[in-house]
């Protein structure tokens, strides 16, 4: 069936998917077009029919991963709840993507090849950390408006960046430097809790200090 009139975009996608696996596993330089060709089950010239060079194929792969990353984060619904709850949801969503094999491999490759592909590195920052920071900043804006948080000392955007870096820092670094040891769900929960707790201690205003899931929704949320 597919032999008669091969749809061009189909083979192109096959090549792209194979290239993604190979590039994310080996990095740009160590990956070879032979590996990609073999993984895709096509011939060498089919690869070059759709992508003029190895660099172009690499760029297409990274762009696709960035889009997937952004989409994944954008699908996160914070939902109703207090600030602690909202930050916890965002932190978990961020860590889920960052600590996934795909997320770790993307970081490795983009950062490792940044001197050779500076534009891709910049786009990584915009599609990843920047997007998440904006989501957190929105959340913090509402919290400030409702009196849940006081960010007058550092500002909303700086606070958002501090938070996501606190969330990402240790888990990502440990995963990057211990490639064979994936952290447990319990460990990830603890990291999340520590970061959220620290941020809340620094910037949350004491409303109902007795704490413990005060079911009072400070922010009347849209649903």
Partner DNA sequence: GTCTATATGAAGATAGAC
Partner DNA sequence: GTCTATCTTCATATAGAC
Least distance in angstroms from the C-beta of 65 to a copy of itself: 14
Cα distance between residue 199 and residue 190, in whole Å: 14
Q: What is the DSSP letter of 204?
A: B
Integer angstrom CA distances of residue 111 from 105, 174, 189: 10, 16, 26
Shortest Å distance, C-beta 20 to a copy of itself: 16
Nearest to 22 by CA among 74, 77, 61: 61
Residue with Cβ nearer DNA (41 or 79)? 41
Could you tell which of a copy of itself, DNA, none binds residue 54, using a CB distance below 5 to 8 A set by kind? DNA
CA distance 144 to 141: 5
Residue 139's closest CA among 154, 151, 153, 125?
151
46 binds, among DNA, a copy of itself, none (CB under 5 to 8 A by kind): DNA
**Least distance from C-beta 27 to DNA, angstroms?**
11
Residue with Cβ nearer DNA (18 or 175): 18
**Residue 88, token pair as written in the block:** 């916890």
Interface with a copy of itself, residue 212, by CB under 8 A: no
Minimum gap (Å) between residue 13 Cβ and a copy of itself: 26
Binds a copy of itself by CB under 8 A, chosen from 118, 147, 208, 217: 118
User: Does 43 participate in binding DNA (rule CB under 7 A)?
Assistant: yes
Residue choice 174, 182, 189, 207 for contact with a copy of itself (CB under 8 A)? 174
Determine, following the binding rule CB under 7 A, whether residue 21 of this chain makes contact with DNA.
no
Distant-in-sequence, close-in-space partners of 72: CB < 8 Å, separation ≥ 6: 93, 97
Query: What is the DSSP code string of 67-108?
Result: HHHHHHHHT----SS-HHHHHHHHHHHHHHHHTSHHHHHHHH
8 binds DNA (CB under 7 A): yes
Residue 7 beta carbon to DNA: minimum distance, rounded to whole angstroms: 7
Q: Note the residues at the interface with DNA (CB under 7 A).
A: 2, 6, 8, 10-12, 31-35, 41-46, 48-50, 52-55
């Amino acid at each position: 069936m597919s032999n008669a009139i091969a749809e061009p975009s189909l083979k192109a996608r096959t090549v792209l998917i194979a290239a993604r696996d190979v590039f994310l596993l080996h990095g740009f330089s160590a990956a070879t077009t032979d590996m990609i060709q073999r993984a895709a089950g096509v011939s060498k010239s089919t690869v070059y029919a759709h992508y003029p060079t190895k660099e172009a194929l690499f760029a297409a792969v990274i762009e696709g991963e960035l889009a997937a990353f952004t989409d994944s984060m954008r699908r996160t619904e914070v939902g109703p709840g207090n600030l602690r709850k909202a930050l916890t949801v965002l932190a978990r969503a961020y860590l889920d993507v960052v600590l996934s094999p795909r997320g770790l491999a993307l970081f490795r490759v983009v950062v490792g090849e940044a001197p050779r592909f500076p534009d891709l590195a910049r786009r990584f920052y915009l599609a990843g950390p920047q997007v998440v920071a904006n989501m957190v900043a929105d959340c913090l804006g509402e919290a400030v408006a409702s009196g849940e948080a006081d960010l007058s000392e550092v500002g909303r955007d700086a606070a958002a960046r501090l938070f996501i870096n606190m969330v990402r820092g240790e888990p990502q670094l440990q995963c990057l430097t211990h490639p064979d040891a994936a952290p447990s769900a319990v460990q990830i929960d603890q990291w999340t809790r520590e970061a959220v707790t620290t941020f809340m201690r620094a910037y949350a205003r004491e409303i109902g200090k007795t704490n413990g899931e005060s079911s009072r929704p400070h922010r009347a949320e849209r649903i």
